[in-house]
Amino acid sequence: MAKKLDERQKELKTYKFKIWDGFRPRQAQYNIYKNLWQNLCKKHPEWDLEKMLTEVEIFIANPYAKGMVPPHSTGGAVDLTLTDLSGKELEMGTVFDYFGPESRADYYEKNNVNKTFCQNRRLLRQAMESGGFSQYDEEWWHYDYGNQPWAVKLNKKQILYEEVATPELR
């Protein structure tokens, strides 16, 4: 993954990557999942269990869902943005980990709202997809390479990365 990102970085020339997340073990994934669950429960006490599951799992993979390996737990997922050469983040329309419809990769293009956001998201997407990454549609910042979502989205016959074994935290 580091080599793939380095290749993409070299192609960009006038921009740099700012990486927020790469690998995370299931326990870290669970903590993020639980935190979003609790926040949405407070914000939407009227939601039933089914609605809560649907909304949380748009943005955070359930780390203990049967047959599911969270993408970040393989080391094949990365959350990132672009900066200019001085390190200033390009405007993407939302902050990282904003959990709402505006975080969808195509939100600003479909709603014809802001050309700058569209261009910046498109620049990031082109840089990543030209290197073989796939984008998670619900998050403009999330890209996969070699894991389950990547294989499904790009019709690959096999994955390159399985779950990274980590010691249990006690």
Q: Specify burial of residue 73 (Cβ count, 10 A radius: 0-12, 13-18, 19+).
A: buried
- pTM check: above 0.85: yes
Instruction: Kindly state the DSSP code that residue 73 receives in the 8-state scheme.
Output: G
Domains and their CATH numbers in the chain? 2-153 (3.30.1380.10)
- Print pLDDT tens along the chain (170 aa): 999 999 999 999 899 999 999 999 988 989 999 999 999 999 999 999 999 999 998 888 888 888 888 999 999 999 999 999 999 999 999 999 998 999 999 999 999 888 999 999 999 999 999 999 999 999 999 999 999 999 999 999 999 999 988 766 55
CB atoms within 10 A of CB 115: 10
Q: Which two tokens stand for residue 39?
A: 């926040």
